[in-house]
Amino acid sequence: MTWTTTTEDGVATLTLDHPPLNILTRAVLAEMVAALARLATDPSVRVLRLAAAGKHFSAGADVGEHLPPQHELLIPEFAEAIEALAAFPLPVIAAVRGRCLGGGFELAQAADVIVAGEGATFGQPEILLGVTAPAACVLLPRRAGPGFAAEILFSGDSVSAARALAAGVVQQVVPDDRADEAALELAKRCARHSAVALRETKRTLREAQGRPRGEALRHAATRYVQDLMRSEDAVEGLRAFVEKRPAQWRHR
């Protein structure tokens, strides 16, 4: 098993453990997709923390599997794996240390929030091999804007955690030995809340992307009225506030 899973206090931690560089092979990706499917239906999970064992988050996908004819299977499977992570119905917080390159960086980009160690480096070196980073071409402009994405994708150069933070790719930079802990602390703060509200917030954020502003606002309002307010937790949370008492979440 290259992925391990633990769950505590509503936070599930999915850890990549494929030493020494956590290379993403087709088998590793398939295992991740299966783990995500299990966690997505686990009623005890409210937040997912994505982590990696060892010094480095991931140096990327297996270059050998990119060669013909395996590329015909790898690339679609990789896209499906990225989508499975991006579409996870609850918040995903990635803890990144060391190298986060190529497919590993694309994996991190699929998370909602990235917490990075100050020594982490991020890059898409695919252009150096004469190819591109298809998932990053889609995800990176949405996180950091088209200019930063173009620089990273065209140059193949890596950037520091500080530069990634300034670009909006990373949301927190902490000492390297605190990256996992800081991501867990944030995950626990999020996991205090109703699973229904977390799911609806994640879904609304995702569905707003790419829609014109007016359409997105109307769609978000409709989801609030027709879906969220039919949940027990939404009514309980509002009533608890009015009645000046702590809410009792039932996560439904």
Task: Characterize the bridge pairing of strands 3-8 and 11-16.
Answer: antiparallel
Residue 213 CB neighbours (<10 A): 8
Which residue in 126, 151, 200, 236 is the catalytic one? 126
Question: What letters, b where the CB count within 10 A reaches 16 and e where it falls short, cover 3-16?
Answer: bebeeeebbbbbbb
Task: Check if the beta carbon of residue 10 is closer than 8 Å to that of residue 46.
Answer: yes
User: Which strand ranges, in their side-by-side order, compose the sheet holding 159-160?
Assistant: 99-101, 121-123, 159-160
Phi first, then psi, for residue 136 (nearest 5°) are -65, -30
Assigned token pair, 213? 């502003």
Assigned token pair, 42? 């686990």
The answer to whether residue 200 is catalytic is: no
Which residue in 83, 106, 118, 181 is the catalytic one? 106
Q: Of 188, 190, 201, 187, which Cα lies nearest the Cα of 231?
A: 201
The answer to whether residue 106 is catalytic is: yes
Assigned token pair, 180? 């996992």
Which active-site residues does the annotation give? Answer: 106, 126
